[in-house]
Structure 1
Amino acid sequence: MPPLPDGAEETVAFDRAARELGLKRGEFELAVQLGEVRTVAVGAMGRRVARAELLRLAAAEGFPSALRARLRVVGTAEGAELLGISQGRFTRLARGGFFTPVRFYVNRYRAVVWLYPAAELGAFAGREPALLTGRIPAGLRATLDEGEDQRAAGWRRRRVEQLLARTDNPWERAAVWCAPLAPAELDAVVTDPAERACLRELMPRLAPVPAGTGPAAEVTAALVTADDPAEIRRCRAALETCVRDAREARPIQPPVPRSTEVAEAPGSEPAPPPARPRRLPLWHRLVRGRRSATDGPTTPYRGRKSPSCTTETSSRPARS
């Protein structure tokens, strides 16, 4: 590796950082999402981990077991056992929004399996011991009986917050708010075609959608899209604000025409067509350097495929 310029910070790629921290790939991605491992943007190399961050984590008390404990995730059965309650009560509390999933996958029976940070469940038990015993409060019981389920909305909110925390670029922040909205909602809020194209190129996926049209793909596509009117209004309002701020900070220029007609004098040689200026992709003109795939090495983008977008397909159940 060449010597670093004065004042530059040594960084390492995600794969190497995971090895040095003794984490599996999925554990490392979760650590980045939860903010346990902080990343930095390094120009064309995308997001990386500073050497100083690795030293900080390695020097922490209880490393690496303490770090792994903070990254432990559990499903309903294990979570209920951890809290000392029945699986039914655990599910009702989760549906009521008392704790928020951090990941999910769709099993072979097309059922959604939600995963929760074990550390957060332990904190909930210490904070709300009354909800672990006795009858469920009447108000909560009534809303649950009506079909209330905040797990998907809570997961989407968590993912949006995670993605927003990783960028200060105004157009990238606007694109994050597009992620949970259906395409028609984006079209309704952002009427300028160039701005919509920019946002679609920068838009991260909240979770990879499996390839094909199987049950896992259908369920995942539904989970990553806001469906509650209140949630849709909140995302639209945030998108409007972010787009307004982005316009003021870095207005998008209209594209240069592909060709220019040149008038020719009678009897003269035809003029050669003007050279087309080389134009970088729109996202590249707005974001310095080549963009990495949001906060982790495997998070693809929604929207049309292009050389500037990263896509990923997997035959395994989608996790977030």
Structure 2
Amino acid sequence: MSGDTVTQSATPAKITEAAALTTPSVAAAGATGRTLALSRAARELGLKRSELDLAVQLGCLRAVVDDGGGGRRIPRAEIDRLRAEKGFPEALRERVDAVGSYTAAEILGVPLSRFMRLARLGLVTPVTFSLNRYRAVVWLYLAAELRRFAADGKNARWLTGRMPEEQRRQLDAGLDLRPRNWRGRHLGFLLRQADDPWRRAAAPAALLDPIQVAEIVRDLYERAHLNSHRPARADHGPPDSPAAQITARIMTADDPDEIEWLQTDLQQSLAEARAHRLAPRPRRKVPASTAADWHETPVVEAGPAPHTPQGRRRPGRPQPTAGTAPGGRRGLLGWLRRRHH
């Protein structure tokens, strides 16, 4: 599978995860008691770190925001709840079990080539992806979803027999809905973890090109505030590396109808964010003269300047001389000495 995936809008994308989840799975750590670091929580649950991240995204457990700015943490109560569930830890591992294309084909009981066609048609949706050492995109799928797909009798025609002519033409034209389907699912993950209206607005913005965001968010300060709530993207190397560029292409919408849908969602979410809290703006520096005018003090009209005859100095503060001092003490002693001589 090449990293240069192509996304077209020949058929509607089948999204298995709702894109408008409203229940947040991230809260403030201060009100949740003791919390654990993600790596520690993964060990206590018998999961890999990537599996723990997926469990949070799927809503299997709740993460909280560290008050000290250290990122997300897992409440101890969430760990205890999962450990007390029936079938732990096998049941939890099954919920977050993500498999590659080879294993996915085995679960569906179809050849790898047929599974690839099903995935490109959007009949199964990736849950995450990674890049191998050859910078090829490796899509991963939830094993539990694949089992449900295989068990549904309505999908039997996709697992056996000849592929319908219309779908074969779409595949021949280069249709690949895996990136788009993943973006739809990822948007649901971002909305699930958003605990603030501005974070919810930043979720669709994270899947758009900055130019497309600017078409909706025209105010510079609102764009900056929105960007500060933008979720971090998956780390696949330095920003300008080929791996990072491939990741950016996957995470950025490129279908016209998908872009329009995300922009509409952004516009609605932005209106809700504005109603909740306006974006901060820098305080304007008020000149001293203007600030003084704000005080209600009587204003005295300036009259004509007093006329001073030419050659005469205006009365002012007397300047001390050699025989005088500001306090007058030195001048008095000098006058007494001159009087006795």
User: Do the structures match in fold with TM over 0.5?
Assistant: yes
**Match of residue 277 from structure 1:** none
**Match of residue 300 from structure 1:** none
> How much does 1:108 deviate?
3.1
2:140 alignment partner, SS class:
strand
In the alignment, is the contact (CA less than 8 A) between 1:95 and 1:151 conserved in 2? yes
Structure label with greater radius of gyration: 2
Cα-to-partner distance string for 1:192-239 (whole Å, 9 max, x where unaligned): 111000011111134234205332122111111100111100110000
In the alignment, is the contact (CA less than 8 A) between 2:57 and 2:193 conserved in 1? no
**Match of residue 315 from structure 2:** none
**Match of residue 189 from structure 1:** 216
Asked if residue 250 in structure 1 is aligned to residue 250 in structure 2, the reply is: no
**Match of residue 183 from structure 2:** 156
> How much does 1:13 deviate?
2.9
**Cα distance in structure 1, aligned partners of 2:110 and 2:32:** 51
For 1:284-299, what aligned pairs fall within 5 Å after superposition?
none
2:204 paired residue among 177, 187, 201: 177
**Cα distance in structure 1, aligned partners of 2:241 and 2:72:** 33
TM-score by length of 1: 0.75
> How much does 1:174 deviate?
0.5
1:216 paired residue among 243, 248, 251: 243
In the alignment, is the contact (CA less than 8 A) between 1:159 and 1:206 conserved in 2? no
Asked if residue 133 in structure 1 is aligned to residue 160 in structure 2, the reply is: yes
**Cα distance in structure 1, aligned partners of 2:150 and 2:170:** 22
**Cα distance in structure 1, aligned partners of 2:268 and 2:236:** 28
Compared CA separation, residues 54 and 162, structure 1 to 2 (3 A): same
2:73 alignment partner, SS class:
strand
> How much does 1:35 deviate?
1.6
**Cα distance in structure 2, aligned partners of 1:97 and 1:228:** 15
1:124 alignment partner, SS class:
helix
TM-score by length of 2: 0.70
Cα-to-partner distance string for 1:133-160 (whole Å, 9 max, x where unaligned): 1112333222222221110011111111
Compared CA separation, residues 122 and 8, structure 1 to 2 (3 A): closer
Amino acid at match of 2:120: R
In the alignment, is the contact (CA less than 8 A) between 2:216 and 2:263 conserved in 1? yes
Compared CA separation, residues 50 and 110, structure 1 to 2 (3 A): closer
Compared CA separation, residues 115 and 237, structure 1 to 2 (3 A): same
Unaligned residue ranges in structure 1 (runs of 5+): 1-6, 265-320
Compared CA separation, residues 134 and 13, structure 1 to 2 (3 A): same
Amino acid at match of 1:20: E
**Cα distance in structure 1, aligned partners of 2:281 and 2:242:** 41
> How much does 1:252 deviate?
2.3
**Aligned residues between the structures:** 258
1:251 alignment partner, SS class:
coil
For 1:71-110, what aligned pairs fall within 5 Å after superposition?
71-110=96-135
**Cα distance in structure 1, aligned partners of 2:134 and 2:41:** 36
1:256 alignment partner, SS class:
coil
**Match of residue 69 from structure 1:** 94
Asked if residue 116 in structure 1 is aligned to residue 141 in structure 2, the reply is: yes
In the alignment, is the contact (CA less than 8 A) between 1:176 and 1:204 conserved in 2? yes
**Match of residue 53 from structure 1:** 78
**Cα distance in structure 1, aligned partners of 2:43 and 2:62:** 16
Structure 1 residue runs of 4 or more that deviate by more than 6 Å after TM superposition: none
2:138 alignment partner, SS class:
strand
1:165 alignment partner, SS class:
helix
Q: CA RMSD in A?
A: 2.2
**Cα distance in structure 2, aligned partners of 1:182 and 1:224:** 10
The more displaced of 11-20 and 229-238 is 11-20
**Cα distance in structure 2, aligned partners of 1:48 and 1:147:** 42
**Match of residue 61 from structure 2:** 37
In the alignment, is the contact (CA less than 8 A) between 1:83 and 1:132 conserved in 2? yes
**Cα distance in structure 1, aligned partners of 2:271 and 2:66:** 27
**Match of residue 262 from structure 1:** 288
2:234 paired residue among 197, 207, 210: 207
**Cα distance in structure 1, aligned partners of 2:169 and 2:261:** 25
> How much does 1:123 deviate?
1.1
> How much does 1:260 deviate?
4.3
